[in-house]
Each structure stands twice: as structure tokens, then as C-alpha cells.
A and B are shown apart, each in its own frame.
Chain A
Amino acid sequence: MNLNLELMLPEGFLLISALLMMVIDLVISDRQKNSFFSNLSIVVIAITMLLTSGTVSMESNLAFNGFIRKDLMVVLSQLLLLISGIFAVLLSHNYIEKFSLKYKGEYYYTLLFALLGGMLLVAANEFSTLFVSLEVMSISVYILVALFKDDYRGKEAALKYFIMGSVGAAILVYGFAILYGLTGVTTYDGVSELVNKNGVTLALLFSIALVAVAFLFKTGAVPFHAWVPDVYHGAPTPVTAFMGAVVKVASFVAFLRLFFPVFVSFAKNWTPAIELVAVVTMFAGALLALNQNNLKRMLAYSAVSHTGVILAAFVTVPALASFVVLFYLFVYVFVTLAAFGMLSLLTTKGLKGESAEDWGGLYKKSPFLALSAVVIFMSLAGIPPFAGFWAKFYLLTALLREGFITLALAVVLSSLMSLYFYLNHLSMPS
């Protein structure tokens, strides 16, 4: 027995605080709930961040008999998740003030549960742990999307997200079942050892395909991207920001951590498929974003396009993928939070702000917001001085170093195409 409970201190603290918030929610009066719970959530997340930084170490540690693995990448991505959680809470406070929400306490602690799921998801080192934490995160997000009362759009988005996400999860379990059948164990270490011993078989490739399909569902890559625009559009804007940041980071990191140690020795077998999906995804996202009038839908398609770019980094396993993907996600999270945060700000200030026409003449109403819009969109498109450029720069150097020249060209081309629609939105006449 090797529980290593002290490694799980941040997650435990987050869980207990969220449960306590459930109890506090029952006794506190409704009027002060919003401010109280948003402040409390920020404090809780901040303390969790402190505890998480305490677990930083250069070597990888196992907890719960090897079901959880904590190394530098895990802790860094957990910190990234927690930071995005704080920003999502900050955005939510004003949004809830504006659009009165009956279940205020529920909103905040469901958000904390989603964060907990994400933190466990990136740390998972075993199939059932991965599945349960993925579902903790997803189910919490379904609730968040549907929570606002009399909000038809949110409910429809929640239903679509629910069906797509659950199908993905079910396919994931099926893939895991086949992998378990091939090896007889469920930890990553055991599976990778036995799988390497047995060599490539058709059943193994089939199970890898199923698992990959499930993660492509979650991250919104092309054959399975249909839910992304509807869900991003229908969800309340702070929740959209949360989804765009937390869910994306957690699923991508879990994707990488499953494929990188376990299936890396057959990288030749699955990288071509990932490559194809990546190219199709980035171009489809950029093309579909071209004639979107609604800003949230446009940002959703741009998220699809970015998913393709991040997937392109996957082909550089084993050498560079972890670093490139984590750095890209790091930049992408902040830009996404900024973009949806700005939309949320415009909505709560009563500037409406979702269709492109509303953005005409924004500079006259609020020069600061207009300038930050320029910075955010330039960063999303990847124009040199901004952060988005450096993320793409590292990605391209990694691709070129490993000799994926066509893929690098595709990334550049799709970025140029996305530049067109970002600029198109910025140059809206008033």
C-alpha cells in the first residue's frame, strides 16, 4: 500500500471546501450569496494554488498505488487550471448580478467541482481514474451550462454538450475495456509495458482509435466538432470562458499524458491519423469562422482551428510534444479567457456585444476595450509581438526540427486565413 496522501493535499482541500460550501449554501441568506461565494471561491482556489505549488518537484511521484502521478508537467497544468478557475469566478460575479440566477451557491461550487475533476484528470495514471475524473469535470460543466433559469439557449447547449460528451465518454470506456482485455491491467505503466511486449495488433490499433476518438470529441477536433459552436454560443459567457480554458487544457493534457507514455512506441502507427485530423481541423475551423456574424460562434470556430494547431504538435512525440503543447495551452488559455471575458464585460455593461454589428464604433464608446480587443485578436491570430505568435513560433520550430514541413506550412496557412476573419471583425463600420 502506497497511498502518499500528502501529495493529494490540494485536491483534498478543494474537495472538502466545495463540500463545505454545499452546507454553507443551505444556511446563508440569498441576498449576500453572490459576493460571499465568489470571494470564498477565489480564496479557496488561491489556497489550493499555494498547496499545489508546494507539491512541485522535478521527479515524478506516485500516489494511491500508482493511480495518480504527479510530476512537473502535471503540477504546472494544475496551476494553469486553477488560474483559469479564478478568472472564471471573477467573470461570473458580474454576470450573475446582471442575469439573476436562482442557484448562486450551486454555480460556484459546481465550478469548483469541475476544477477538481480537471486537476485529477491531468494527474490520472490509470484508466478508471481518468474516466471518473473526466466525468466529474464534464458533468459539472453540463450543469453550469444549463443552470441559468429561463435561458433556453443554455439548456439547448447543455443538452447537445451532454449527448456529445457522453457518447465520447462511452466510447472511451469501450476503448479502455479492449486495452484491459489485451493486457489485464489498467495502470498506464503496466499497460505500456505489456503492450510493448506484445507488439502491434489490430485490436490494439482499434482500441487506440477508440480512445483517440473520445479525446477528439472532448477537444472538438473536426469530425466531431459539430457541438463546439452551438455549445460555446449557447452557454453563459463566463461558462464559455471556463470551458474554453479549463476543459480544453485538462483534456489536451490528459490526451497527451495517455498517448505519450503508453502508446509512444507505436507513434508511427497513429501519428499520420493525428496529422490528418490536425490539418483538416485547422482549415475547417478557419473556413467556417469566415462568415460568422455572431462573435461567440466566431470564437468557437477559432477555438476549433486552435485545436487543430495543438493537435499538430502531437506528432512531435516523444521529443518535444509535452513542452510545445503545454506552452501553447498556457498562451491560449489566457487569450481565450481575455476574449470571452471581454464579451462577458460587454454583455454585462449592456452593450449587447455578441453580433458583429454591435462592435462597430466600440472605440468611441470605450477606447480601452477597443484597444484590448485589437490586442486579443492579434494574439489569437499570432501576430509577432503578441504572445500568440511565440506559441506558434515554438510549435513551428518543433515541427521543422522533426521534419514535418507540410504540417508547418499548413499551420502558417491556416493562421493567415484566421487573420483574415479576425481583421474582418475588427474593421466593422460603425
Chain B
Amino acid sequence: MSPIGFFILSALLFGIGIFGIVARRNVISLFFSLELILNSANVLLVGFSKLHQNLFGEVFVFFVLAVAAAEAAVGLAIVVALYRLTGSVNTEDFSRLRW
């Protein structure tokens, strides 16, 4: 089985994720992009795990998934707290810390 499909898929996901981080201004979209980058790494890990015929990669994926969930929970909580204070989820509105 050729692993090239895994590489292309994961590279595409990684690229989309990085593009989203750079281009988007909505915090929720930023979260989506973050998850895309993490999942691109997951795709790569699973693909390599298949290639090498061992399970280190897949176990790593479990940890990445769990950590990503914790990260998303904390991030969403921060966004909700900010939304309560400012009524916005746009990163351009969160730039008072410059003077």
C-alpha cells in the first residue's frame, strides 16, 4: 500500500489550517483551523503507523485527540468569557493591549 495519499491529505489539511490561522478573524474559525492542523498531524501519524507496522503512531494520536479536546474546552471557555465582556468574537476587537 502506498502511503503517498496520507502525505497529500495531511499536507493539504496542514496548509488549510495554517491559511485559516493567518487569514481568518473570527475566533471560532481560528479554533477550526487549529483543529485542522492537529488532525493533519494525526492523519500523518496514522499513515506512518500503518507503514511501519507498529502502534506508536496510533497511540500518539489518542493523546493528541484528548489534549486537543482539553485545549478546545479551555479555549471556548476563554472566548465565552470574552464574549460576555465585549459582545464580540472577532479578533480585531481584542486589541486593547497596546499602548
Instruction: Let me know if chains A and B touch directly in the complex, using CB atoms closer than 8 Å.
Output: yes
**B16: interface (CB < 8 Å):** no
Contacts of B86 in A (CB 8 A): 152
**B56: interface (CB < 8 Å):** yes
Bitwise, B59-85 to A at CB < 8 A (1) or not (0) is 110011001001100110111011001
Q: Which of A152, A167, A170, A171 contacts B96 (CB 8 A)?
A: A152
Closest to A143 in B: B74
Q: Which of A162, A177, A293 contacts B48 (CB 8 A)?
A: A177
Q: Which one of A11-19, A73-81, A180-188, A418-426 is at the B interface?
A: A180-188
A230 with B78, Cβ < 8 A, contacts A139-B70, A174-B41 known: no
Contacts of A156 in B (CB 8 A): 82, 94-97
Would you list which residues of chain A between 294 and 315 have a CB under 8 Å from chain B? Answer: 294
Q: Which of A135, A170, A180, A293 contacts B34 (CB 8 A)?
A: A170
A230 with B34, Cβ < 8 A, contacts A139-B71, A159-B79, A159-B82 known: no
Closest to B62 in A: A128
Q: Number of contact residues on B: which range applies?
A: 35 or more
**A158: interface (CB < 8 Å):** yes
Chain A-chain B contacts (Cβ-Cβ < 8 Å), number: 120
Do A159 and B78 have beta carbons less than 8 Å apart?
Answer: yes
Closest to A151 in B: B85
Would you list which residues of chain A between 66 and 112 have a CB under 8 Å from chain B? Answer: none
Do B38 and A170 have beta carbons less than 8 Å apart?
Answer: yes
Contacts of A163 in B (CB 8 A): 21, 30, 34, 75
Do B52 and A184 have beta carbons less than 8 Å apart?
Answer: yes
B residues near A (Cβ < 8 Å) are 10, 14, 17, 21, 27, 30, 34, 37-38, 40-42, 44-45, 47-48, 51-52, 54, 56-57, 59-60, 63-64, 67, 70-71, 74-75, 77-79, 81-82, 85-86, 91, 94-99
Given A146-B77, A159-B27, 11 other A-B contacts at CB below 8 A?
Answer: A128-B60, A146-B81, A150-B85, A158-B78, A166-B71, A170-B38, A173-B41, A173-B42, A177-B10, A180-B57, A181-B47
